Amino acid sequence: MATLQGRTGEWEMVIGLEVHAQIVSNAKLFSGASTAFGAEPNSQVSLVDAAMPGMLPVINGYCVEQAVRTGLGLKAEINLVSVFDRKNYFYPDLPQGYQISQYSRPIVGKGKLLIDLPDGAVKEIGITRLHMEQDAGKSLHDQHPTKSYVDLNRSGVALMEIVSEPDLRGPEEATAYVTKLRSILRYLGTCDGNMDQGSLRCDVNLSVRRPGEPFGTRCEIKNVNSIRFIRQAIEYEARRQIEILEDGGTIDQETRLFDASRGETRSMRSKEEAHDYRYFPDPDLLPLELDQSWVDEIKATLPELPDEKKRRFVEDYGVPVYDAGVLVADRETADFFEVVARGRDGRLASNWVIGDLFGLLNKSGLAITESPITAEKLGGLLDLIADNTISGRIAKEVFEAMWETGKSAGDIVEEKGLRQITDTGAIETAIDEVLARESAKVEEYRSGKDKLFGFFVGQVMKATGGKANPKLVNEVLRKKLG
């Protein structure tokens, strides 16, 4: 358990996260307007999104399906009846003067998510609920000296708010949680998880306590919008609270804002200033009722999720647990790996993907989907190793040539004449030449300097341009050196 050392002893962090995930959908939650990112300001705004008089919301069935799919992916209860409420507050980028959300009856109830800890352990984090809500627009304060501008493109975009239990105990667990949640959402295709575009945003609830004691007073930190900021905000806020408590003070329950430029949190509003949102059921919308059979249909189409895939990679391909975790973190990598590994040595495939391929991808800043070496071609390379056409060492050379040219392993081996020498006669000839040239060393070896054996292997490999089958070279050498 991660604890922090204060002046007066140990402290434990208690963290719960509220993640706002934008639902992947072409249209908004209650209007037909487009949701594409990066459009001209106010170009994707329907009459409903602008809250024109007399306009009414109509639920987008696809967004509901996406929320249910997400709930199922989080192994959560799906509530067959849920209710949309109005959350009332005034702000210029909130045209209706209320946000349509789900308050007392969300579409998804309790679920769970497994996170991998650095020590290899797996921890279960409770999901409290998932509900659907509308996003607000965006206020732009830097366009005019005295006025603010409003862009309503985001207004009405469908979000899922996913609330965790206060089960997280430090920045590692919190970031592991968000990473894992993002991975699951991407597998499901329900949120693209792009934090830099605001598709995934996070509010952090944090308190500290002495280990074993009841929960302390928490603060909510708003708008922590990258994995790095989540870590920074937690570290800063925990230290701030510990300092106050160790100085004999008390924590005020309040909403704080993370200032990314300074890496600190600061007070936004206190409990007394907290909004009274006057939630009540939206009379423009009927309760949302789902058929169990419809939920079952969605369940039947769920993709294999990271946890199951990881287990399968370990069991079916013999991939080490840690490596399997790396491979399944995103679906594209897992799919790539599986094409390489199917019918081949899974452990070798994993080593090539995680080691050599990731190395070059990282160096070039490419995603796995942009790899110049396709999964099929990497598989071809592994086949050449398996049937002794090339050695593992030559394979590295072939791999680099494949990266440069995009050609298949077979073509490169042919072009460069890298086919392994397995002809015992040719190997014997090469060995004889080496032994004749190095007769002094042969004497030394025979008089007991066993370590020279490696030297002879090296010389033979050098003489054959690395193409001699190392196993044969060893066998013949041993025989000839007696």
Partner 1 sequence: MSELTRLTLAEARDGLGRGDFSAREITEAHLSAIEQARSLNMFITETPERALADAGAADERRARGEPLTLDGLPIAVKDLFCTDGILSTAASHILDGFVPPYESTVSAKLRDAGTVLLGKTNLDEFAMGSANVTSYYGEVENPWRARGDNRRRVPGGSSGGSAAAVAGRCALAAIGTDTGGSIRQPAAFCGIVGLKPTYGRCSRWGIIAFASSLDQAGPMTRTVRDAAIMLRHMAGHDPKDSTSAPREVPDFEAVIESGVRGMRIGIPKEYRVDGMSSELEALWQQGVNWLRAAGAEIVEVSLPHTRYALPTYYIIAPAEASSNLARYDGVRYGLRVEGNSVQEMYENTRGEGFGAEVRRRVLIGTYVLSAGYYDAYYLKAQKVRARIAQDFARAYEKVDAILTPTAPTAAFPIGEKMDDPIAMYLNDVFTVPASLAGLPAISVPAGLSGEGLPLGLQLIGRAFDEEGVLRAARVLEEAAEFTALPTMLGGSV
Structure-token match 């990598």, residue found: 333
Q: How far is 242 from 3, CA to CA, in rounded Å? A: 12
Q: Are 305 and 299 in contact (CB under 8 A)?
A: no
Q: How far is 324 from 306, CA to CA, in rounded Å? A: 9
Q: How far is 205 from 148, CA to CA, in rounded Å? A: 30
Per DSSP, helices labelled H in 352-438 are: 358-364, 375-386, 392-405, 409-416, 424-437
Give Rg (Cα) of the chain.
30
Type and span of the H or E element at 292: helix 292-300
**Cβ proximity to partner 1, 97 vs 303, nearer residue:** 97
Residue of 86, 131, 154, 222 interacting with partner 1 (CB under 8 A): 86
Q: How far is 401 from 396, CA to CA, in rounded Å? A: 9
Phi, psi of 477 (to 5 degrees): -60, -50
Q: Are 446 and 482 in contact (CB under 8 A)?
A: yes
Closest separation in Å from C-beta 93 to partner 1 = 9
Closest separation in Å from C-beta 62 to partner 1 = 15
Type and span of the H or E element at 326: helix 321-328
**Is residue 266 part of the contact set for partner 1 (CB under 8 A)?**
no
Residues 6+ apart with CB under 8 A from 448: none
Contact code string over 290-309 relative to partner 1, x by CB under 8 A? --------------------
Residue of 140, 150, 339, 457 interacting with partner 1 (CB under 8 A): 150
Which residues ranging from 29 to 48 are in contact with partner 1 (CB under 8 A)?
A: 47
Residue of 9, 61, 92, 458 interacting with partner 1 (CB under 8 A): 92
Give the range of 88-96, 205-213, 395-403, 469-477 binding partner 1 by CB under 8 A: 88-96
**Is residue 148 part of the contact set for partner 1 (CB under 8 A)?**
yes
**C-alpha closest to that of 94 among 131, 49, 55:** 49
**Cβ proximity to partner 1, 53 vs 448, nearer residue:** 53
Structure-token match 């790539």, residue found: 336
**Is residue 269 part of the contact set for partner 1 (CB under 8 A)?**
no
Closest separation in Å from C-beta 30 to partner 1 = 9
**Is residue 280 part of the contact set for partner 1 (CB under 8 A)?**
yes
353: DSSP letter: I
Give the range of 57-65, 338-346, 427-435, 450-458 binding partner 1 by CB under 8 A: 57-65
- Displacement of CA 130 from its chain's centroid (Å): 20
123 SS3 class: strand
Closest separation in Å from C-beta 94 to partner 1 = 9
Residue of 2, 36, 39, 56 interacting with partner 1 (CB under 8 A): 56
**Cβ proximity to partner 1, 276 vs 450, nearer residue:** 276
Residue of 98, 177, 236, 352 interacting with partner 1 (CB under 8 A): 98
**Cβ proximity to partner 1, 95 vs 325, nearer residue:** 95
Closest separation in Å from C-beta 85 to partner 1 = 10
Give the range of 53-61, 115-123, 205-213, 309-317 binding partner 1 by CB under 8 A: 53-61
How far from each other are the two terminal CA atoms of the chain, in whole angstroms?
59
Q: How many residues bind partner 1 (CB under 8 A)?
A: 31
**Cβ proximity to partner 1, 57 vs 380, nearer residue:** 57
**Is residue 285 part of the contact set for partner 1 (CB under 8 A)?**
yes
Q: How far is 452 from 477, CA to CA, in rounded Å? A: 12
**Is residue 286 part of the contact set for partner 1 (CB under 8 A)?**
yes
Q: How far is 81 from 84, CA to CA, in rounded Å? A: 10
**Is residue 54 part of the contact set for partner 1 (CB under 8 A)?**
yes
Interface with partner 1 by CB under 8 A: which residues? Answer: 47, 50-59, 86, 88, 90-92, 95-98, 148, 150, 276, 278-280, 282-286
